[in-house]
A and B are shown apart, each in its own frame.
Chain A
């Protein structure tokens, strides 16, 4: 039996790590991730875990140490935020390309400049093409649950990809929340023992990791990564179901909230989904046909599930907490609109860029978006496709 506790997002992630007991953790502190590693470092110092905790001099080294340890056959975890993730960049790709199932919490924070420590998704979206599975969390419970599932997804022999679990900086990382943690033995049984097929330390079966790969084979290895992401779709669902048996909390690619008969919908990632739910409930009380699609998994992108969820919707607003400057809309918008094009679903798609640098999004603003969507239905056309929500003119 688990127990009900009050934890911040950082404590929730730290607790998950303590229960998973990774062989190696390498990390460098950065706000707002720092407390997460404090929590884990306490457990190391107190002898609760026998993890090899590597204190490095930069995030580039943190991910490098993680890659080395994972290639040596260890179960490896780390965590970072924003500029720390940016500094890891080179090695983030190498972790995925070498097929090393490292699990990392990314406590979302805006990338500099101007320097800012608060939440947006520019960091994780920057890493969207690196080959990592990317799982977003609405609250601390999901941060905890996603990390535990993340280990099992990453290490599946058909997947073998690193997993990034996000946690909205400060909004989740530093906010105390009621949640349930599982018994440590249950977590252990769930994630099981990691037995990689090939490791650097298996001297009886010597292998080479990370060799030169020229035009004659590089493309083939990239094609394998595509397959791994496709396999991950099945594994994410299997692990989600198995986790439901253990915890009572089931997970898929997305959550449809009040989508029954919804004509207007919002698609959002992370903690904002919780705020949208409150607005949806209030509007439903008034008889308005509105709903929310909370996207949990961004990589691999859940094309089929999203199309199914949008089948009856007339107009949908895509919430992007990051921007791709010069592109036609934010990264979530372009992705959603791309899967809709050529499908048999006819739905107007609007984009709302919001919350950059930790700018709060209010209930009234979300209600205003639903009003905009109503306007599109009544007018039968879109005035502004790409909108900036909450920026001062």
Chain B
């Protein structure tokens, strides 16, 4: 485990002193299923953005822009919450992603 800090170099008690540093922890590799977004079907209701527990829905100027696959754990909540008429997000098994 080279590159990791020794016990004298880290804050005590597991404290994390830097705010918002969860971003540095990449959790994308945890995924079994990957969300695949179809931009043409998307109505930008942003339900996926509201429900995503990992802040992995990328939104710019009020529009859905894509999914942050470095942090998305593949829970599938976005696909579940995507309105049934649109079905703009589909979960596919990792490694079988179509064109992504």
Interface residues in chain A, defined as those with a beta carbon under 8 Å from any beta carbon in chain B: 97-100, 160, 198, 205-211, 213, 216-217, 219-221, 223-224, 227-228
28 A-B pairs with C-beta separation under 8 A: A97-B13, A97-B14, A98-B14, A99-B12, A99-B15, A160-B13, A198-B11, A205-B17, A206-B19, A207-B16, A207-B17, A207-B19, A208-B15, A208-B16, A209-B13, A209-B15, A211-B14, A217-B4, A217-B10, A217-B14, A219-B7, A220-B6, A221-B10, A221-B12, A223-B7, A224-B7, A224-B13, A227-B7
Report the nearest B residue to A210, measured CB to CB: B14
**Shortest Cβ distance from B21 into A: residue:** A208
For residues 43 through 73 of chain B, which have their beta carbon under 8 Å from a beta carbon of chain A? none
User: What is the minimal beta-carbon distance from B1 to any residue of chain A, in angstroms?
Assistant: 6
Contacts of A219 in B (CB 8 A): 7
10 nearest CB pairs, A to B: A99-B13, A208-B16, A220-B7, A223-B7, A206-B19, A98-B13, A99-B12, A213-B14, A224-B12, A221-B14
How would you classify the secondary structure of chain B's contact residues: helix, strand, loop or mixed?
Answer: loop
Chain A residues in 8 Å Cβ range of B11: 198
Question: Which residues of A sit under 8 angstroms from B85, Cβ to Cβ?
Answer: none
- Number of cross-chain contacts by CB at 8 Å: 50
Contacts A221-B10, A224-B12 aside, 6 further interface pairs with beta carbons under 8 A come to A97-B14, A160-B13, A207-B16, A209-B13, A217-B10, A221-B12
The smallest C-beta distance from A226 to any residue of chain B, in angstroms, reads 9
Chain A residues within 8 Å of B6, by CB: 220
**Tally of chain B residues near chain A (CB < 8 A):** 14
B98 within 8 A of A: no
Residues of A near B17 (CB, < 8 A) are 198, 205, 207
Query: Complex: how many Å from CA A211 to CA B19?
Result: 13
Q: Which residues of A contact B10 (CB under 8 A)?
A: 217, 220-221, 224
- Which B residues contact A (CB, under 8 angstroms)? 1, 4-7, 10-17, 19
- Closest CB-CB distance, B82 to chain A, in whole Å? 29
Task: For B12, list chain A residues within 8 Å (CB).
Answer: 99, 160, 221, 224, 228
Report A-chain residues with C-beta under 8 Å of the C-beta of B7. Answer: 219-221, 223-224, 227
Closest A-chain residue to B16, C-beta based?
A: A208
B79 to chain A, nearest CB (A): 26
* Chain B residues within 8 Å of A206, by CB: 19
Please report the C-alpha to C-alpha distance between residue A160 and residue B13 in the assembled complex, in whole angstroms: 9
Option from B1, B13, B14, B16 in Cβ contact (under 8 Å) with A216: B1
A98 to B17, CA, bound (A): 14
A198 to B14, CA, bound (A): 12
Residues of A within 8 A of B4 (CB): 216-217
The complex places the Cα of A211 from the Cα of B13 at a distance, in Å, of 9
State which of A198, A220, A227 has its C-beta within 8 Å of the C-beta of B15.
A198
User: Is the Cβ of A207 less than 8 Å from the Cβ of B1?
Assistant: no
A117–B6 CA distance with the chains assembled, in angstroms: 46
Rounded to whole angstroms, the CA-CA distance of A217 and B7 in the bound complex is 8
Which B residues are CB-close (under 8 A) to A223? 7
Alpha-carbon separation in the docked complex, A224 to B6 (Å): 10
Q: With the chains together, A126 CA to B98 CA distance in Å?
A: 57
